[in-house]
A = this chain, B = another copy of it.
Amino acid sequence: MARRAVHAEITAVAESLFREQGYDATTVDDIAERAGISQRTFFRYARTKEDLVLGEYDRQGEHMVDVLRSRPAEESPWTSLRHAFEVVVAPRREQANRARAKLLHSIVESSPALRAAYLDRMELIQRRLVDVLTDRAPDTESRVVTRALVGAAFAALHAVMEACDPDGEGPDTFAADLDHVLARLEPTGTQR
């Protein structure tokens, strides 16, 4: 049976349970039972309970790394990063995706442990982005500065994601908000 399908089924079941009774109140046994599998099988398809929620962010991260790699080396890091962030911005143009993103975010915020794990994923993604940037243009900037630059850009992204939390039905201000904060934060001498 398609490994993928089983994983998707487990994730779907888990998500509905998380929505119904909360992340912490939902045990792995609950999920396994409703999915009709044993706990042991659950762990064969899902690395951890956290992964069910954070997998999405991992995929986005991978995608961001890909986008960043495809950007021209002459481009300023700040601009390249903004393009990489399009991975997060673009889906939000559709209401359904926005709702889903907010649901995920609220689940993440509901549990300190989950939030911590989330932040760790972000950290790992940032490190990979730093690698891409330093590889593509060595010597232009010290690794420390690049590290800080990526961190700053993520801080902007993070801030905007957090702010748009209140379940707005209005149009998508995400891109505009991000651009605003990013512009406000843009380091003085980014352009190489």
Contact (A119, B123) CB under 8 Å given A156-B151, A159-B148 = yes
| B151 and A158 form a contact (CB under 8 A) | yes
Does A155 belong to the interface (CB within 8 Å)? yes
Q: Chain B's nearest CB lies how many Å from the CB of A12? A: 25
Residue of B nearest to A115 (CB): B120
CB-CB < 8 A to A158: which residues of B?
Answer: 147-148, 151
In chain A, positions 159-182 with a C-beta closer than 8 Å to chain B are 159-160, 162-163, 177, 180-181
Does A143 belong to the interface (CB within 8 Å)? yes
| A148 and B184 form a contact (CB under 8 A) | yes
CB-CB < 8 A to A160: which residues of B?
Answer: 144, 148
Does A117 belong to the interface (CB within 8 Å)? yes
CB-CB < 8 A to A117: which residues of B?
Answer: 116
| Residues in A lying within 8 Å of B, measured CB to CB | 112, 115-117, 119-120, 123, 143-145, 147-152, 154-156, 158-160, 162-163, 177, 180-181, 184-189
Question: Could you jot down 25 A-B contacts, CB within 8 Å?
Answer: A115-B120, A119-B119, A119-B120, A143-B163, A144-B159, A144-B162, A144-B177, A144-B181, A145-B159, A145-B180, A145-B185, A147-B162, A148-B160, A148-B184, A149-B185, A150-B155, A151-B154, A151-B155, A151-B156, A151-B158, A151-B159, A152-B185, A184-B189, A186-B187, A187-B188
